[in-house]
Copies of this chain bind each other. A is one copy, B any other.
Amino acid sequence: MKEQLCFGVDIGGTNTSIGLVNRQGDILTEEVIPTHREQDASSYLPRLFRKMEEMGKKFQADYELAGIGIGAPNANYYRGTVENPPNLNWGKVVEVREIVGEHFGIPCALTNDANAAAIGEMTFGAAKGMKDFIVVTLGTGLGSGIVVNGKLVYGHDGFAGELGHTIVNVNGRQCGCGNKGCLETYVSATGIKRTIFKLLADYISDSELRNLSFEDLDAKMITEAAIRGDKIALEAFEYTGRILGMKLAEAIAITSPEAIFLFGGLANAKDLLFQPTLLHMEKFLLPIFKNKVKLQLSGLQDKNAAVLGASALIWNELAR
């Protein structure tokens, strides 16, 4: 019997990554196509299919294609749809699972990118063997995948796990979702940029970041400035960790996980972010939870977690 491979597809607002992944979590090949967010799905999907077919052809002599796992914004696992994605011009509902499944004639499953990251962490990463954990992805926004009893929490309608839209301050920062003060407006690559601008307004201390426009600044520059001892940048990490720690303490009170994994660019700041986060998380925890919950870097931090996680969706379904 031929060895099986799965496609893992990560549809982002800018690029789409496509990998062919084996059961051990090795990505045998990976390619990237532009998503072209202004295109509708009927223009995008044929482009995706052509690339996948081209990749599949190279491997079909030696491998069997077992399925296609897809991570996408506002993907609904139950319905197999992408619904009103905030960064794509796809409209109300696209029946992605059905369209992809029919085209390739193999199983297809999809979920949002943070859920895919959690499934990847459980299948190939640092959460192997854990039954209760949370993965927090820190990118442009803040996503989360919550695992309870060994299963991802999808909830009644398939959209559970939106930690990024719990509220830090009802009169706080404007969020793209329409509310104010959502966690992701503070804790994400964009959130820490906003914090830098707030701090530059609040304080008079010198900072190398005073020379940058909002558009030019990114989270990596903030991390580098903090490493060089820039006070504003250091305070921004303190501020970010304080808020993240408090909201993680709340998430722990609700689902009592064994560990929380941070993933994404901002998590690369390591101790700069982890130290204040852990400090404030412990401070806000109920006594019964104190000093019990691990806060760790994702085990897939240096890998393409989204592609691995998307493929793991299928590996998990085949394993049932």
A residues whose Cβ falls under 8 Å from a Cβ of B = 74, 83-84, 130-133, 146, 148-149, 151, 153-163, 165-167, 170, 177-179, 246, 249-251, 253-258, 284, 286-289, 292-293
| A253 and B74 form a contact (CB under 8 A) | no
* Residue from A130, A155, A284, A292 whose CB has the most chain B CB atoms within 10 Å: A155
**How far, in angstroms, from A250 to B253 measured CA to CA in the complex?**
13
Chain B residues, CB < 8 A from A284:
167, 170, 179
Chain B residues, CB < 8 A from A256:
153-161
| B287 and A177 form a contact (CB under 8 A) | yes
**How far, in angstroms, from A145 to B45 measured CA to CA in the complex?**
42
| A74 and B153 form a contact (CB under 8 A) | no
**How far, in angstroms, from A254 to B166 measured CA to CA in the complex?**
8
| A292 and B250 form a contact (CB under 8 A) | no
**How far, in angstroms, from A13 to B114 measured CA to CA in the complex?**
42
**How far, in angstroms, from A237 to B138 measured CA to CA in the complex?**
38
Which of B74, B156, B292 makes the CB contact (< 8 A) with A257? B156
* Residue from A74, A84, A162, A289 whose CB has the most chain B CB atoms within 10 Å: A162
* Residue from A153, A165, A246, A253 whose CB has the most chain B CB atoms within 10 Å: A253
| B254 and A160 form a contact (CB under 8 A) | yes
**How far, in angstroms, from A162 to B246 measured CA to CA in the complex?**
14
Given contacts A167-B250, A178-B287, contact A153 B148 (CB under 8 A): yes
**How far, in angstroms, from A162 to B293 measured CA to CA in the complex?**
15
| A166 and B250 form a contact (CB under 8 A) | yes
Chain B residues, CB < 8 A from A130:
156
Minimal Cβ-Cβ distance residue in B for A163: B254
| A155 and B132 form a contact (CB under 8 A) | yes
Chain B residues, CB < 8 A from A149:
148-149, 151, 153
